[in-house]
Amino acid sequence: MKTIILKTASKYLLPLLLLFSVFILLRGHYLPGGGFVGGLIASIAFVVYAFANGLEQTKDLLRIHPGYLMPVGLLIAFVAGISPMFLSALPFMTGEWFAEPLAVIGMVGSALFFDIGVFIVVVGVSLTIIFTITESA
């Protein structure tokens, strides 16, 4: 859409929303949120940007095709899932935890990495779907 107003606003909204999405991701274990909703917010950030500035510019911004985020996220989740099998011969998806809580995030463990994987996949999926549809529209 050719509107200066949205274009300008979207440039400021993008980093804010991304920040917010990470915030939602990290606190999911303690409060509502988590990888899924976080990922959605991140993709909304890009989608709004894309509506305002066009797909090409958004893709340039992303540098890689959003589709590649999907395997990346899945791989992170997969590694988080199998890590206990290799680290301590425990079943798939068993939580592995660092002994001490980290500031901000709290306890860090494989579940967090799993959630990060979810986050990335959701971003990849939403963007792929919306971009593809918009492109062919």
Partner 1 sequence: MSLYDYLYFILLPVLSVAMILLFVRFLLGPSIADRVIALDLLITTGIGIIAIYSIITDQPTFLDIAMILALIAFLGTVAFSYYLEKRNKNE
Partner 2 sequence: MINHIVLYPILVQLFFAIVLLFAWNSVRLQKSISIFGCIVSLALSIWLFITIWTKGTLTIQAGNWEAPFGITFVADIFAATLVLLTAISGLAVSIFSAGTILRARFKFGYLPIFHFLLLGLNGAFLTGDIFNLYVWFEIIIISSFVLITIGGEKKQLEGAIKYFTLNILASMIFLTAIAVLYGLTGSLNMADLALKVAEIENRGLVEITALLFLIGFGIKAAIFPLYFWLPASYHTPPPAVMAIFGGLLTKVGVYALIRVFTLIFVGEDFLETIILSIAGLTLFSGAVGALVQNNIVKIFSYLIICHIGFMILGLGLYTEAAIAGAVFYLIHDIVVKTNLFMVSGLIYRIKGTFSMRDLGGLYAHYPMFSLLMIIPLFSLIGIPPLSGFWPKLALITESFKIGNYWLIGAVLFATFITLFVIARMWSEVFWKDGPVLNKVPNFRYFQLLNKRQKLQMIVPMVFLAMVSLYIGFGAEHIQRLSSRIAVELMNNQLYIEAVLNK
Partner 3 sequence: MSDLFIAIIATLGTIFVLLAAIGLVRMPDTYLRISVTTKAATLGIGLILIAAAFYFKELSVTSRVLAIILFIILTAPIAAHLIGRASYFIGVKLWHKSVMDDLEGKYKKVTHELMSEDIEDESTAIINTIEETPNDTKNK
What does the binding site for partner 1 look like in residue numbers (CB under 8 A)?
Answer: 1, 6, 17, 20, 24, 31-33, 37, 41, 44, 47-48, 51-52, 137
Site for partner 2 in 5-44 (CB under 8 A): none
Query: Which position has the token pair 């509506």?
Result: 51
Contact mark string toward partner 3, 15..54, x via CB under 8 A: -x---x----------------------------------
Residue 76 contacts residue 83 (beta carbons within 8 Å): no
Contact mark string toward Na ion, 98..117, x via CB under 5 A: -------------x------
Q: Give least dist CB 115 to partner 3, A.
A: 20
Distance separating alpha carbons of residues 11 and 83, to the nearest angstrom: 39
CA dihedral for 15, 119, 114, 128, sign (positive or negative): negative
Structure tokens at 92: 């798939």
Partner touching 5 among partner 2, partner 1, partner 3, none, CB below 5 to 8 Å by kind: partner 3
In this chain, which of 15, 67, 101, 106 binds partner 2, going by CB under 8 A?
67
Residue 34 contacts residue 24 (beta carbons within 8 Å): yes
- Contact region with partner 3 (CB under 8 A), list: 13-21, 36-44, 96-104, 121-129: 13-21
Decide: helix, strand or coil at residue 106: strand
CB pairs under 8 A, 24+ apart, for 55-63? 55/131, 55/134, 55/135, 58/131, 59/131, 62/127
Binding site for partner 3 (CB under 8 A): 1-3, 5-6, 9, 12-13, 16, 20
